[in-house]
Chains A and B, each alone.
Chain A
Amino acid sequence: MDFGSILTFTIEQAFGPLAIVYCLAAIGLNVHFGYTGLLNFGQAAFMAVGGYTMASFVAVFGLSLWLGLAVGVLMAVVLALLLGIPTLRLRADYLAIVTIAAAEIIRQTLGSVTFDRKFDFGGQDGLQSNFVADFRALNPLDGPISIGPISWRVNDAWVMIVGWALVAICCVVVWLLMRSPWGRVLKAIREDEDAVRSLGKNVYAYKMQALIVGGIFGAFAGFIYGFYKNAVIPTDYATDTTFYAFTVLLVGGAARVLGPVVGAVIVWGLLSGLGAFFTQAARNDVIPNWLMNDQQASLMRFIILGLALMLIMIFRPQGIFGDRKELAIDGR
């Protein structure tokens, strides 16, 4: 067992590109769920729309990557409108079912052979041609970033610089929004929708605006995912992606500006660290092979993730930094 390498890997992943992806997705969910109380289980759809728009602009239509980013944000707004119109009047459990269904509709359509035949979207393989070339061309780094034994490859490091800067900007935006009168209305909607309505606020419009803002953060997550992988693949935007983002949010603490950031670092770091730990333990026969083989070792982290999500929701629903008084998660 090489605990040194497990620790380095954990730290590399905790601050690596995927942590940023889940952090941004969770910031969006924070606006939806943490502040407004909207149970959006379709965040993966916003990520998919962002990522696919960006990638297809270069790989399919041969246009500029930067234009793709702008249109990606626009598409996230359109998706929020389409998703919000039928669902935002519904109770939380209905909203959850519909958003999850919408996300699957989008993912299965984007990944279908039919869609590939018509628009060349690659089916289940997704878009894999080198569409981030323009982004990588801007990379000022000429080698990997290393701090002692910890090291990030040159492309990942560039994604991280941009990604964490984006996270910082998003956090500031969320902080400013939520201390504005607009944000106070959102929080009031979360606590008591009818009271807000009786004060003459258009609850539906506020919810829609919240869905759009959070959806744009979701599209940002899709961009960073695409930048990091240089590919957009339908399976990356499955239902589980939303669930992991929820775990990130709930571990860090919903309705806290920095909750998603802390949550992403902790969840993704622990998830990767546990993965590395069990893989090594199984390979070096610390855990006997009849009990756990290599493939099973890679599943341990998801077993623990599921357990952790249950336990945190039961025993500390406000997360690590949340305030139980501010956020009593409940419907009806």
Chain B
Amino acid sequence: MSSSTASPTPRPPGRRGIVLGALVALLLAPLLALIALGAPSASAATAGAAPAGCQFPTSDDGAIHIQGCLRDQRTSPPTPVPDVKVSVTGPDGAVIGDAVTDANGIFDVALPGDPLSNLNKDFTIKIDTDTLPENAALRDPSQVELKVNFNTTNNYTVTFPIDEPLPDPPGKFIEGLQLLVGGIVFALLLAMASLGLSMIFGTTGLTNFAHGEMITFGALVGLWVDQLPGKISLPGIGNVTVIVGVLAAFVVGGIFGYVNDRALWRPLRHRGTGLIAMMIVSIGLSIFLRSVFQYLVGGNNKSYSQYSSVEPWSIGQILITPRDVAVVLVALAALIGVSLLLQYTRLGKATRAVADNPALAASSGINVERVIAAVWTVGGALAALSGVLLGITQGFNFQLGFKILLLVFAATVLGGLGTIWGAMLGALVIGAFVEVSTLWIPSELKYVGALVILILVLLVRPQGLLGRAQRIG
């Protein structure tokens, strides 16, 4: 009996090749778009307009001097604004010194008393806006006072920018849209990591706490390619070092995932190690790998040599960098590619069968070990790709993956642990929520919001959005 009869519908020869070819094309096209960005990225740095010509007087009387330089920023170069009254109020509310700007727009107030006794006290510097020239006003009309507090006896410089008033801040709606754009970029990267985690859970039952390290690994492969001596250039296209790094991360990440399974998890499965024991092993692996990564690259933040500052495009009032567009396209290509593989190839169908019921899949002739090896390979590649793209968009350090691991968990649990479409849906919701929620909550607490969602979902719908209701307790 030939193996092809096992398939319900005979497949025209070469169809698999077409699918694979389409996949490769899908992946490569956005990368080419990234290449196009390579050239202008270097010119993106802009020189800040330094307040040239502000020569503050120096003195040796030992007192703390509060100094400032009023310049009308509407002209270029900025013109000094003379004859403006500035007063300094002490901690008790009494005026302790005042000054008028000279022809260079400079004022200088010496604080009376022992400089040491002036430390760690609140002083208020106030500008008398009535003495400003007729046509000039502060850029921020409400900011006529500045509160300062010294912890050294050095002179202190304050500024009152004189300029056109700032345009009204964008409304909540525009701000929300802008955050949503950032949220979608992040969500797609999260989705790649979540998809791998969910597939691994679905096929093996392992909750892999070392998945974050597979993400970090991708960013590190990108870094190592970037740090190779010399640049990788293609004739006619230019410097493609980081692009090569992205591709390398994808490929080496896949190998890393395969090796993970082959060297550690498969032997453990064959020994009959329990799932909770394996979960704790994955924690050990996470600590081990994270420390090794820190050993290799150190503790500081890293970024790649290209695309770290890119001039954004503006669409209406929304800003989006071409880099983010390319990242979104690469991520979409990878996600759609894996989805197509899962949906239409034999291996993909086998994967879904194993995720659904491993024992049944095995008894119907599916090689479960082969499926699991493929899942680890794809999961590792996706995680690494997610890591290197996260590195491109926001920089990274050795904790990159560990820091977002809980969000990856939140996404998979929200979508339904072990489901494939659920993982992606959950990641989209969590990723967008994390960014957009900063409209209402401080951005330092944005991850907290996502984790609260995770707990609420488990209260209300423990099987997740797309999970099948089953006993999980």
Residues of A within 8 A of B (CB): 39, 86-94, 96-98, 100-102, 104-105, 108-109, 112-114, 240, 243, 246-247, 250, 295-296, 299-300, 302-303, 305-311, 313-314, 317, 328-332
Contact = CB atoms under 8 A, between A and B. Distances in A.
Contacts of B473: 88-91, 94
Contacts of B294: 299
Contact of B410 (A94, A101, A108): A101
Contact of A309 (B276, B284, B295, B442): B284
B192 to A, nearest CB: 19
B292 A310 contact: no
Given A89-B462, A299-B295, A307-B288, 7 more contacts: A101-B406, A102-B455, A108-B445, A108-B447, A240-B287, A295-B298, A332-B275
B280 A108 contact: no
| A contact patch SS | helix
Contacts of A102: 451, 455
A207 to B, nearest CB: 10
A101 to B, nearest CB: 4
Contacts of B409: 97, 100-101
B166 to A, nearest CB: 25
Given A108-B448, A306-B289, A307-B288, A97 B472 contact: no
Contact of B280 (A98, A104, A246): A246
A88 B413 CA distance: 16
Contact of B284 (A87, A89, A300, A310): A310
Contact of B299 (A39, A104, A295, A309): A295
B302 to A, nearest CB: 16
A314 B455 contact: no
Given A309-B283, A313-B280, A86 B459 contact: yes
A100 B281 contact: no
B274 to A, nearest CB: 3
A81 B439 CA distance: 31
A105 B452 contact: yes
Nearest to B273: A314
Nearest 10 CB-CB pairings of A with B: A306-B288, A330-B274, A309-B284, A306-B287, A310-B284, A89-B473, A302-B291, A101-B451, A303-B291, A331-B276
A89 B289 CA distance: 33
Contact of A314 (B268, B289, B295): B268
B299 A112 contact: no
A317 B292 CA distance: 24
B285 A310 contact: yes
B458 interface: yes
Contact of B455 (A98, A240, A328, A330): A98
A94 B413 contact: yes
Nearest to B292: A303
A136 to B, nearest CB: 27
B100 interface: no
B205 A332 contact: yes
A158 B299 CA distance: 35
A98 B289 CA distance: 23
A332 B271 CA distance: 17
A88 B281 CA distance: 23
B298 A246 contact: no
Contacts of B287: 240, 243, 302, 305-306, 309
A94 B274 contact: no
Contacts of B191: none
Interface in B189-232: 205, 207
Contacts, number: 141
Contacts of A88: 473
A129 B444 CA distance: 24
A164 to B, nearest CB: 27
B39 interface: no
A299 B288 CA distance: 10
Nearest to B442: A114
A96 B207 contact: yes
Given A98-B455, A306-B284, A109 B276 contact: no
B393 interface: no
Nearest to B413: A97
B286 interface: yes
A311 B264 CA distance: 11
B148 interface: no
B279 interface: yes
Nearest to B451: A101
A278 B325 CA distance: 46
A317 B277 contact: yes
17 contacts: A39-B276, A91-B472, A91-B473, A92-B276, A97-B406, A101-B409, A101-B451, A114-B445, A247-B284, A299-B291, A300-B295, A306-B285, A309-B283, A310-B284, A314-B268, A314-B277, A329-B277
Interface string B436-463: 0000001011011001101100110010
B277 A313 contact: yes
A105 B448 contact: yes
A246 B283 contact: yes
Contacts of A92: 275-276
Contact of B454 (A101, A112, A306): A101
Residue of A86, A105, A300 contacting most chain B CB atoms (<10 Å):
A105
A65 B378 CA distance: 55
Contact of A310 (B271, B274, B281, B444): B281
Contacts of B410: 101
A306 B445 contact: no
A109 B444 CA distance: 9
Given A94-B458, A105-B448, A112-B444, A306 B277 contact: no
A105 B406 CA distance: 11
B277 A105 contact: no
B444 A114 contact: yes
A92 to B, nearest CB: 6
B290 to A, nearest CB: 8
A105 B281 CA distance: 24
A51 to B, nearest CB: 19
Contacts of A93: 207, 275-276, 279, 417
B170 to A, nearest CB: 23
Contacts of B207: 93, 96-97
